[in-house]
Amino acid sequence: MIRITRIFAVSAVAMALAACNSSSERVELTPNPPTPPVADGTAELRIHHTSANAPAVNVLANGDVLAGLENVDYQKSSPLLEVPEATYSVQVDGILPGGDVTTVIEGDFDLEDGVRYDIFALGNLGADAPFEFGPFIITNSVSPVASGEARLQVLHGAPVDVPVDVYLTAPDADIAEGGADFTLSYQDFTDQVSVPEGDYQVTLTVAGEASSVLFTSPTLSLPAGADLMVVATLNTAANSDDAPIALLIADGEGSSVVYSTTTGADIRVVHAIGDAPAVDVYANEIAGDPVVANLAFPGATDYLNVPADDYEFLVTVTGETDAVLSQEFSLVDGLQASVFAAGELGEETANLQAVVLDNRRVATEARLRLIHASPFAGPVDIYVTATADISDAEPAFAGVPFNAEELVTTGNVALAEGTYFVTITLAGETDAALGPLEVDLSTSGIYTAVAVGNTADNLGVILLDDLAPTEM
């Protein structure tokens, strides 16, 4: 049986909530509390997950979980931890499908009095040198930040053979008018650099090519006392081909991800209303060509990248000019989401809503997610089994409801590579309403299935991402 920990109800509200980790206009960084002198015999330790294709990890020291560091995911940093100086056996365990773990980093580390240790899980699983996965350590003497200043240190942590120039300027400054502050290759890092508190912008370009911009931050407000570790990481969210870099900023209390202002949001539209005709979708006004034309049930678009902004999506019957559905969305840099036309026209429950997605590909697992958008099915049980026979199986998800206002999704379910059968039954029954659907899952894959239909005749599944049929 595939054990599942939770299911999610998601709505358009999640689109706005995503802005908490966005970089649309301005990022206010919280000043660190005044740094008290480190007690004699004490070191500082901080752990960073910066490997784009590695699973979430548990961090152990001397055999015990360190300071609650369990299920630490990509682009996350721990707080700064004060630990007694000593030799520690540090172990990082990658979490595998089913909850098993495998040790990916282990070693003895001598932590000395008055030294700060930043330990990074860096590189990619399965990559060749110099981009192979492993630990990377930066050390600094523990010291306070000077009055009225902010302090930062920058690491090139993106495993690519592209040296970068780093510019730290006033917002909207022309980088062509001055030289780069730093030039860094992979695993290069700066000293700790102090700057006056204030507003700044970080720009990364290909080294020696000021016009080849890889990253442009929004305005970063650096308050006095801020003590930051800034890591250039691979962007695994929206528009990663055109905006390949995202910054991980660790402030001693936690961390945040800042996306380039050129990232935008990746949005796809899914027509899941079984009793609705083909539709056109417009942004902000019904004029000119629609963003999406003649989308019929059951269908979905590819991802469309749009600039971060506030939008009103307007849906018309194809070729007409009166909106039958509309919804406002706040789209932020880095966001990936599917916008569903869901519910039923006949029951007056039709609406637009968004399901926010995590499309990071993980080298040790396949990611399967199921979305319940079928009014006809009602509450369902979902089976994910090794064979098509579910007679002796327990559902992986039991009693999953249909909610026209907030579609329910399993979220990403981590599975080992292999062949599985997905079967959907009415809750409490064992006769298949949908399926069994045979799916071949590979590590690093993203597999999405949407249950749709408001009658027995149009009950079906929309297959997306790596389940989508291949065009011949």
Supply the pLDDT for residue 178.
Answer: 87
Supply the pLDDT for residue 34.
Answer: 56
Q: What are phi and psi of 150, to 5 degrees?
A: -115, 150
Residue 32 pLDDT level (bands cut at 50, 70, 90): low
160-173 residue pLDDT tens: 999 999 999 999 99
CATH of 39-143, one of 2.40.160, 2.60.40, 2.60.120, 3.30.70: 2.60.40
Supply the pLDDT for residue 366.
Answer: 98
Q: 361-467 has which fold?
A: Immunoglobulin-like (2.60.40)
Residue 450 forms beta bridges with which residues? 371, 462
Token output for 306 = 């749009």
Other C-beta atoms closer than 10 Å to the C-beta of 41 total 11
Task: Report yes or no: 199 and 6 within 8 Å, Cβ to Cβ.
Answer: no
Asked, colleague to colleague, whether 39-143 and 264-357 share their fold, the answer is: yes
Residue 2 pLDDT level (bands cut at 50, 70, 90): very low
Q: How far apart are CA 113 and CA 111, in angstroms?
A: 7
Instruction: Determine the average pLDDT of the residues in 182-190.
Output: 99
360-407 residue pLDDT tens: 999 999 999 999 999 998 899 999 999 999 999 999 999 999 999 999
238 vs 22, which has greater pLDDT?
238
CATH of segment(s) 264-357: 2.60.40
Q: Where are the domains of the chain?
A: 39-143, 144-262, 264-357, 361-467
CATH of segment(s) 144-262: 2.60.40.2890
